[in-house]
Amino acid sequence: MFDFEFDDLEDPASEDELRDLVDAYERSLHKDADAYFDSEALEHIATYYFESGRLVDALHVVDRSLATQPYSSDPWLRRGILLNHLDRHDEALVAYDRALSLNPADSETIVNRGITLDTLGRVEDALEAYDMALSFSPGHADALFNKGIALEKMERHEDALEVLHQCAELDPEHPEVWYELGFAYDQLERLEDSVSSYDRQIEVDPYAQNAWYNKGIVLNRLGKFEEAVSSYDFATAICDDFASAWYNRGNALANLGRTHEAIDSYRQVLEFETGDAATFYNLGIAYEELEDYPTAVSYLLRAVKDDPEYAEAWYSLGCCYDATGRDGDALGAFARAIELQPETGEYWHARADAEYNAGRLAEALRSYAHVVHLDAENAEAWLDLAETRLESGLAGEALEAYSQVLRLKPTASEVHLRRAQVLASVGQRESAERALDRACELEPIRSEEFRRAYGEVWSIAHSGGHQGGEKRH
């Protein structure tokens, strides 16, 4: 922040007078004339250039001031601020050090030096600078504010909260302190406090789009998706090309099941950016949910083109291929997902289902077995393994898998019944009857239905017949 504005001077110039002063200065440069401008006039000109974004011109003016008053600390401070804004941070430190050699207790210089140290990644040195400034000026709000930011970078969020609250007490209208408090509370998972802090920031500055945006993120984490959408709406109303806000708005709408609106929001991202893997992926997932598989595939292909190591996108692409009967393509996509994340059981399970649907039972058996190897508590995978073993003529191994299902879901009456069928088929009549009785105990209202089914299965078992399974998803 440039600390020497027009109203800091004893005799501020009017806008017209200031423009005339700047014109006179610029004419003197073009004429290569040695025109005289006193220190006050040079301060006016430097500040005008700074506020116009003409930082190099402002620096030239400050250097001209230093040529006539090299032992004044103020021009050295201004030079440091300008160099910092020009990303010439090491030179800025030299200027601040020169200013402090002339005025060692100047808190403004010490704070700005701390800001430059922080920018250079020297956060601990910056923290020391802020503490020094506070030793000279205990109520220095900017020193407290920047100390809070440094503590956040060091992940000392509790300490940051304490310091930032001190700043807020001294200056409740500080332009950014409530925003930083919102961030610190978020990091500490104190989400309601985070929302309240962002609300205070919005009271101070209703057009702070980043506060609306971060509030939306926290609300989304709280599961308050409608309120999150409203916050993102404000963020995008203030800044209509705020691509991240459009993206997260889409996520909140997707969580609400408002898939068409989510798609519209994701498409807005593509209006303002070239698009990235995450946006293409979310569009693909949305169209998959609408069962518009061709469109879903087109976006998922763009996702994996943008990021070939996006395992979730490969997995979803495989699911879309599987849903449209493109078994070979599905298996290829699942194989790529597994190559990237070989320990993810969900990918192996999807691959096993695709192999089963393609009639490749031996491969499906291996894949289902790997799923339960990765997660022995996956009852659905054990059931699929049991059914596939049974269809492959491996009744004994199927019974072992059914037992694992019942270990996890002992009250699953349909599994008891299915086990009874298999036991009957291998001639274990008493065990089959016990399994059937257990199914009837669990669902007495269906006991007659079960017993009729048992009678039919018993006759099938003696004839050696087995029925094939249905397509799996």
pLDDT higher than 90, residue 421 = no
Q: Which of 51, 80, 104 is the last residue of a domain?
A: 104
DSSP per-residue codes, 119-187:
HTT-HHHHHHHHHHHHHH-TT-HHHHHHHHHHHHHTT-HHHHHHHHHHHHHH-TT-SSHHHHHHHHHHH
Burial of 328 (0-12, 13-18, 19+ CB in 10 A): exposed
Q: How far is CA 326 from CA 230, 289, 302, 320, 460, in A?
A: 41, 18, 19, 9, 35
Into how many domains does the chain fold? 2
Do the domain assignments include residue 472?
A: yes
CATH number at residue 402: 1.25.40.10
Q: What is the pLDDT of residue 472?
A: 59
Other C-beta atoms closer than 10 Å to the C-beta of 256 total: 14
Of 362, 350, 360, 335, whose CA–CA distance to 472 is shortest? 350
Domain span including residue 456: 376-473
Q: Which of 82, 104, 126 is the last residue of a domain?
A: 104
DSSP 175: S
Tokens of 21: 């002063």
Do the domain assignments include residue 290?
A: no
- Give the CA count within 13 Å in the CB-facing half-sphere of 57: 15
Do the domain assignments include residue 210?
A: no
Average pLDDT taken over every residue of the chain? 91
pLDDT > 90: what percent of the chain?
Answer: 78
Q: What is the pLDDT of residue 462?
A: 41
d(CA 34, CA 67): 13
∠ CA 234-236-237, nearest 5°, is 60
Q: How many helices (H) and strands (E) does the chain have?
A: 26, 0
Do the domain assignments include residue 18?
A: yes
Do the domain assignments include residue 410?
A: yes
Low-confidence winner among 9-23, 194-208, 260-274, 445-459 (lowest mean pLDDT)? 445-459
Render pLDDT for 371-391 as a digit per residue (tens, 0 to 9).
999 999 999 999 999 999 999
Q: Which of 38, 70, 104 is the last residue of a domain?
A: 104
Do the domain assignments include residue 30?
A: yes
Place of tokens 């191994």: 397
